[in-house]
Every structure is written in structure tokens, then in C-alpha cells.
Structure 1
Amino acid sequence: MAVVDIPGSKSITARALFLAAAADGVTTLKRPLRSDDTEGFAEGLTRLGYRVGRTPGAWHIDGCPQGPAVPEADVYCRDGATTARFLPTLAAAGHGTYRFDASPQMRRRPLLPLTRALRDLGVDVGHEETEGHHPLRIEAAGVEGGDVTLDAGQSSQYLTALLLLGPLTRKGLRITVTDLVSAPYVEITTAMMRAFGADVRRDGDTYVVAPGGYTATTYAIEPDASTASYFFAAAAVTGGEVTVPGLGGGALQGDLGFVDVLRRMGARVEIGADRTTVAGTGELRGLTVNMRDISDTMPTLAALAPFASGPVRIEDVANTRVKECDRLEACAENLRRLGVEVTTGPDWIEIQPGVPRAANGTEIKTYGDHRVVMSFAVTSLRTPGISFDDPGCVRKTFPDFHEAFAQLRRDIRR
């Protein structure tokens, strides 16, 4: 059995950094993820005047409840969607002029539903080049609060950004959501807000957030469930066994639900209080599955799908087309390069069983997307000769992924 130590959750680390910056006092984050995305978030906080201290295994953030500690700042968000969507919302609660820009990849990703909601709340937000995309400028004067309507059908991060802002407004927020994808990520947000002392509740399609700010605390970051999916999939596809400590029945992250998909396909799954184990049984059945709520693990399933005994159809994943790349088409293209029959639609992909072949070596086109690399690393366990055009893009969430996966490969072979 392989025991894999998965680094901290990117989603939880980003939310914790926002909450710590907005809280009254000094917050300690235990075992935060250190990757390009989270370092970019921390760097953005520093540019906005917050102090972020680092010790082995922990970050310490001095909160500033009234908003950024500087009246002007220019923040570069790198490739990070959480950085690019959460930090402008944090800045809006302050007083000053704040400009945000991002990488070409992040500039292509949509932002308009969030900026429209901020404008509806009276925030002065301007897109400098293309409406609905970075770069943008905020002339901040605090946020009064009140009622707002939001379409979060492209990304749950729009809703998370507004929820996080709620306690920093003068009157609180009532957010009515007309559409929502990846709902479990919102549940992470509300649970963490409560851990920092906020009052947030859901009433049907409306989220009600009371004013009153946040209180500093000590907060432990659990392992990243999306990252764990590659290691769980590796067990299922090879007949090995993988245990991930720190992810169990009490985990916040909905992406742990990926193991239920593996169970339906024939893997043995055991979820304990503080760990999860997946073991391959030699059987992988085809299935049809709705992955709207766990769409970040869609590429993981697509990459192991050819080894199933029947077709694998993944539905309701339109939002994967507006991630770091069009993940749905990236998966389809790379599977076809390996000789696998694939069809796609606006929000679905269907993969036929077959033996992927990397004739004379096949280079996976990653489009700079960390999840494409990590997913097709699973395929490579049974398909020798696969390589990647940009293997280093895993630094976005797991800089040591290749070393950890190589160790897993050795453990499985033993």
C-alpha cells in the first residue's frame, strides 16, 4: 500500500488568506499550500499592504479589517483565478485606488458576472481593455451592502468572492443566485467564514451575510482533494492501493466525492475519519456521471476512462471550457492522439474503451494547464512513451508532483 502525503488545498489556502487578511488580529495558517497560485495570492496581499510572515509549516497574517493598508497598489495576479477574483473584492472594502492585472491565460478567463455584481453594490470598477476581463481598476470607498443578484453558472468563485466580502460591508449582503456550478466549493467558503466568526446562512437561492467582520484564529489547511484524485485514480487503474491521510469523512472539499465515482466503476473505497483509501480490483466499469459539482476532477476521469470495460460519459461540465484552457476539448484532443475514440458536446464528453498507445512517443498538449498534465500522468501508468510539452506547469498547485508520482509508480510496481 502506498501512503501519499498530499499538499494543502489550494482552494482552502486562498480562502484562508482572504479571511486572515480581513480579520481583526493575527491569524496562523497551518500547513498552507506553497505553489505558484498561493504564493501569488500572498504576494498580492503584500502589495495591498498586509503583512504575511512565513515559518516552517505555517504562515502568519496581520489582519486589517478596514481594508488594504495602502491607498494605492498595482497587483499582478499571475495565473491564479482565486487571486484574480478574490483580491479585487477585498480591495473594494477599503479606500484607495487599486489596479489588478494577470497573465495572458488569466486575462482570457471571464470576470464580468462578478464585476457587474460589484457595480450593482456601488463599487467603481473599470476594465481597462476588454469588458469583463483583466486588467481592471477599482476606486474603493468601502461597500454599503444590500441586495444583489448574481449568475454563478460559469464559476462558483464569483459567489465565493461576494460571500467573503459580506461581513466587510456596512449593512451585510443578500445574494440571490440565478445559477450555480461547483456548489461544494461554496460550502467550503461558508464553513470557513463561520470558523472566522462570520454569520452566513442560506435561504433557498439566497445567501444572507451579516456585517461585523472576522476574528483572527489558527486554521489548519487540509490536503487538496482535487490533487488527491490523481493518486486515487492511479490505484484504480493499476490495481494498486493508495491511502491519503488527512482527507476523511469530515473533509470540507466536495472533490473527495471523486472516490464515489471510482467506487461505481469497481474500485474498493474506504473513507475513515481522517484518511481515505482506494484500491484497484482489476475491474473498471463504464458509466455515465454528472460532474457539475466536482468538475475539476473531470480530466482525471477522462484520462483513466479508456481502461474501462464500457463507455464513460461525463455530463454537465460546460464550465470546464473556461478554466485554464478548454479542458473538455484538451482531454478529447489528447485522447485522440493516443488512438482513443472520443466525442464531445457543449457540456459533455464520451470516451470509448480502448488501449491508449503512444506510438514513437506521444507528447500531450498541456495548454499550460496543470490538471491536464496530472491527469494524463495517470494514463501514462499503463501507456509507456507519454511525454508533456510543458511538464513544469504543475507548479501552479503541486510543484513536486512529478517526484511524488514517480515514487507512487515505484510503490505500485513493488
Structure 2
Amino acid sequence: MPVIDIPGSKSITARALFLAAAADGVTTLVRPLRSDDTEGFAEGLTALGYRVGRTRDAWQVDGRPQGPPAREADVHCRDGATTARFLPALAATGHGVYRFDASAQMRRRPLLPLTRALRDLGVDLRHEEAEGHHPLTVRAAGVEGGDVVLDAGQSSQYLTALLLLGPLTRRGLRIRVTDLVSAPYVEITIAMMRAFGVEVGREAAGPGQVFVVPPGGYRPTTYAVEPDASTASYFFAAAAVTPGGEVTVPGLGAGALQGDLGFVDVLRRMGAEVSVRPEGTTVRGTGQLRGLTVNMRDISDTMPTLAAVAPFASGPVRIEDVANTRVKECDRLEACAENLRRLGVRVATGPDWIEIRPGTPAPGTGIKSYGDHRIVMSFAVTGLRVPGISFDDPGCVRKTFPGFHEAFAEVRGGLGA
């Protein structure tokens, strides 16, 4: 029975780095994720003047609630959406000129709802080329705070950036959200802010919700990063598609912050045996996967995982309410559809849904990665049942899990696949 040591959560590591930089003192992060995205975030903090000390199992950050120590900086956000969205909000709390740019892939991803909200709060922010996209410049003079309206229907990261910003403003923030996707990620943010000494209030208001964030800053702490639930989904799916296969992920169980652990409930509905305990989660394949219709709005990062195993179900698998996956590292909905068609599987798509028919995927198929780590890791699971699958860019997994292929090969051997 493979027991998998999953690296730390990317989402939690990024939030923890922001909170540590904003806290008044030294914070230690235990078992943070070390990947291209999180290293890029840490390098961004260093460019802004923060001290980030890194050892193998822990990072230490010298926080500064007054904003970045540097008065001028150039920050390259690489491919990291959290870096590209969170750090401009952090920079706005300081006093200086901060320029941000990103990879071509990240330049294509939208920012406008967040940057519009920052401008509404008085932040001097300019998009240097395409409106609503990187590169951008922040001429910071602190943030007064107050009321702001936000559409987070494309990404919950817009709301997270404002929530994290709130305690660093002079008056606090009252954020009215008109639309919200991936709500469990907001719950991660609020729980982590609580661990750093800030309690977020909520009010119901019309069609949306109001989040009330007090001023006053954060306190430093020692914070342990739990394993990444999105990454764990590939290993749980591997067990589900292998009759009698069993995978356990320790440290990710009852009480976990990450909503993407809900993916195991989807596998349970399909016929896998699932046990979620305080100390970890185990999935066991029963030799049967049923088709289903599932709304994945709140766990959309695991949509490609389900799409990649859907051909092995006994009936159609329809995934709904995942329009936001079209503006990730690539258009994930179409990327999944195209690769499934390459495998000879019948697929239909709509603006926010994909339906996959049962089939026998063709061996020896080349998968197009679109430079997206989640496409590669998802279709690696398909490769457990289909010989000869290859990838045009297998190395793109370094974004979140540089050692994925080695870890997955070990699991493959343990499952006898």
C-alpha cells in the first residue's frame, strides 16, 4: 500500500509568505512547498526588500507591517498567479515605485477586477501595456482602506489579495463581493489570517457577501504548511483507477484547510472506497467507476484529474460550472477535451462544462501539455491504464511539484500498474 509524502500546499505557502512578510516580526514556515511558483514568490519578496531565509525544511521571513523595505523594485512573477496577484497588493502598502512583470503565459491571465478594486481604494496603479494584464507599476503611498466592490467570478485570488491587504490599511476594508468562484480557497485565507491574529467578519448583503477586515496588522508565528490537496488528487485518482489499488496521504485528513480534498468525495460517488481520518486520507480502487454529473466550481483545480480518468467510468462523466478553468495556465477545459480526443475518447464541451463518454483510450498517444503542470499530472494517471502515453513538456510540473514523475513512478510500481 503506497504511502505518499505529498509536498506542501502551493496555495497555503503563498498565503503564508504574504502573511509572514506583513507580520511585525520573524515568522517561521515549516515544510513549505519548494517549487517554481513558491520560489518565485520568495524571490519577489526579496526584490521588495524582505529577508527570506531558507533551509531544507523551513523558511524564515522578517516581516514589516509598514510595507516593503525597498523604495524601488522590479519584480518578475514568473508563471505564478499568486505572486502576480498578491505582491502588487502588498507593495501598495509601502512607499515607493514597484514594477511587476511576468512570463508570457502569466501576462495572458486576467488581473483587471483586482487592479480596478485597488484603484478604487486610491492605489496609483498603471498597466504598462494591455489593460488588466502584466506588466504593471504601483506608485505606493500606503492604503487608506474603506469600502470596495469586487467581482471574484474569475478567480478567488482577487478576493484573497484584498483580504490579506485589509489589516495593513489605515481604516481596514469592507469588501462587497458580487460573484465568487472557488470559495474554499477564501476559507483557507480566512483561517490563515486567524492564525496570524486577524479575525475577518462577514455580512450578507444582496446577491453577494460582505467581508469586513479590521486594521491593526498581523502577529508573527510558526506556521506548518499542510500537504497540497490538488497534488494529492493525482495519487488518489491513481488508486481509484487501479482495482485493489490503495494510496494513503498522511497529514491531509479531517480538519484540512484545503477544499480540494473534496475531490475524494467525487471518487467515492464513482465507486472508490474512501477513508478520511484526522491523520490522513486513504483511497482504494474497487474495480468499478460509475459515471456521474458533478459541479466542480469550488474544486475546479481538480477538474483535469477527473477528466483524465473519466474514460474508465461505466457511464458518461459530466463536469459543470468550471468556466474559470478557461483562464488558468491554459484553457484547461479545452486542453482536456483536445487530449481526450487525441486518445480517441468522445467529448463534448460548452462554455462552462465538459462531458466525457466511456471509452478505450488509444495507446502510444502524445499528450499536449500547453505548458500546464496540471494537464501533465492528470494525464499521467490515464497512463496507468494506457501504455505509451508521452508528454511534449513533462518538465512543466516544476511549477508545483518538481519531483512528480519520480514520485508517480514509485506509486505506479506500488500499485502494480
Aligning the two structures, in what range does the TM-score lie when normalised by the shorter sequence? Answer: over 0.9
Partner of 1:391: 394
* Aligned pair partner of 1:308 in 289, 305, 313: 313
Name structure 1 gaps, 5 residues minimum: none
Distance 1:331 1:347 in 2: 13
Partner of 2:257: 252
Partner of 2:298: 293
Ranges of 4+ aligned residues in structure 1 off by more than 4 Å: none
Q: How does 1:45-124 map to 2 (within 5 A)?
A: 45-124=45-124
Q: How does 1:14-413 map to 2 (within 5 A)?
A: 14-204=14-204, 205-239=209-243, 240-358=245-363, 361-413=364-416
Partners of 1:250 and 1:274 within 8 A in 2: no
Partner SS state of residue 215, structure 2:
coil
The AA in structure 2 aligned to 1:387 is S
Q: Aligned-residue CA RMSD in angstroms?
A: 0.6
Distance 2:134 2:192 in 1: 27
Partners of 1:13 and 1:38 within 8 A in 2: yes
The AA in structure 2 aligned to 1:399 is P
Q: What is the aligned length?
A: 412
* Alignment deviations for residues 124-160 of structure 1 (CA, whole Å, 9 cap, x no partner): 0100000000000000000000000000000000000
The AA in structure 2 aligned to 1:265 is M
Distance 1:65 1:177 in 2: 26
* Alignment deviations for residues 70-127 of structure 1 (CA, whole Å, 9 cap, x no partner): 1000000000000000000000011100000000000000000000000000000100
Aligned-pair identity in percent equals: 83
The AA in structure 2 aligned to 1:413 is G
The AA in structure 2 aligned to 1:261 is V
- Report the Cα offset of residue 202 of structure 1: 1.6
More divergent stretch after superposition (32-41 vs 191-200): 191-200
Partners of 1:152 and 1:177 within 8 A in 2: yes
Distance 1:56 1:115 in 2: 35
Partner SS state of residue 310, structure 1:
coil
* Alignment deviations for residues 344-384 of structure 1 (CA, whole Å, 9 cap, x no partner): 000000000001112xx211000000000000000000000
Partners of 1:295 and 1:317 within 8 A in 2: yes
Partner SS state of residue 82, structure 1:
helix
- Report the Cα offset of residue 56 of structure 1: 2.5
